[in-house]
Amino acid sequence: MAAFRLEIEGFVLAMADSSSPYFVESYYAGYNYLQDVTSNAPLYAASYRYAPGGVGQPVASGSLIFGFPGKAIAFSRDNGDFKYDAPVIATASIGAELLPAIAMLCQNVSTADSGRITSTDVLVSRTSTQLLDAAALANQTFNFYREDCAMGGGNLQAMWFDAQGNGTFPSGSGSQTLNAATVTRLLNGQVLKDPSTGKLLAFSAYLYVHHDSVKYVIVQRQGNRTTGVTEGSLATWTQE
């Protein structure tokens, strides 16, 4: 109900902007780096609002309503990249055509010793399909890891699934293999404890269409506790 309320409030906020009498809303599911690690459900609803252009034309500018509670910021497109107003200071767009299929939003987060750029939110288009069965990931490999709006270091392994949907996941300096039944439970919200770090992990898998090709993405959340998370992170595993 909270997510639906936010969506309604965002719609009302967009209606109050009279810069254009006509607009389009594209809806997204939003994940936050400090949300509870009790399932793989998104925390809030988000949306891009923009004036309609020509058929198939990339969206040039508009406003983005995201976060919990929701806030509206302006965005624009610059040579294929999406730029956002404060407090977003860095972004990573995945599968971007008219709009991103997945958008990672990074903000400056205060820490005890200094500030750092952190991937605070990941938005997934509602045109994407969430995958709930390991069989849907059979034979898929994810070679690209992003965190804090940057590609992961070279020491990060790939994540992959065999023909039966058994998955191999990076874990510390090694990896762990989970059978298809366990992968299915993870895709349906079961939380995984990383044996090497003790941190809690949640995975959400989606497929989307990009340039007429089917692509897959996994949103990975990590937290130091189930609720009241104080040390969390958001990352994506993608195919590019």
Residues 49-58 pLDDT 10s: 988 765 556 7
Sorted by where each begins, the domain ranges of the chain are 2-125, 129-238
3-state SS class at 9: helix
Q: Is the pLDDT of residue 133 over 70?
A: yes
- Give the residue-averaged pLDDT of 115-143: 94
The tokens for 38 are 């009790």
Interior/surface letters 92-119, b for 16+ CB within 10 angstroms, e for the rest:
bbbbbeebbbbbbbbbeeeeeeeeeebb
Q: Report pLDDT digits (tens) over 35-70.
A: 999 999 999 999 999 887 655 567 889 999 999 888
> Which of 77-86, 112-121, 199-208 bottoms out in mean pLDDT, i.e. has the lowest?
112-121
Which DSSP string corresponds to 109-127?
EE-SS-EEEEEEEEEEETT
DSSP, res 146: E
> What is the enclosing helix (H) or strand (E) of 184?
helix 180-187
CB-CB contact of 215 with 116 (8 Å): no
Q: What is the pTM of this model?
A: 0.86
- Give the residue-averaged pLDDT of 168-172: 80
Where does the pLDDT of residue 12 fall: very low under 50, low under 70, confident under 90, or very high at 90 and above? low
Provide the β-strand partners of residue 161. Answer: 167
Q: Is the Cα dihedral 117, 121, 122, 125 positive or negative?
A: negative
**What's CA 79's distance to the chain center, in Å?**
22
- Give the residue-averaged pLDDT of 172-179: 80
**In terms of C-beta density within 10 A (0-12 exposed, 13-18 middle, 19 or more buried), how is residue 206 classed?**
buried
DSSP, res 136: G
Q: Report pLDDT digits (tens) over 187-240.
A: 999 999 887 778 999 999 999 998 889 999 999 999 999 999 999 999 999 987
Q: Is the pLDDT of residue 155 over 70?
A: no
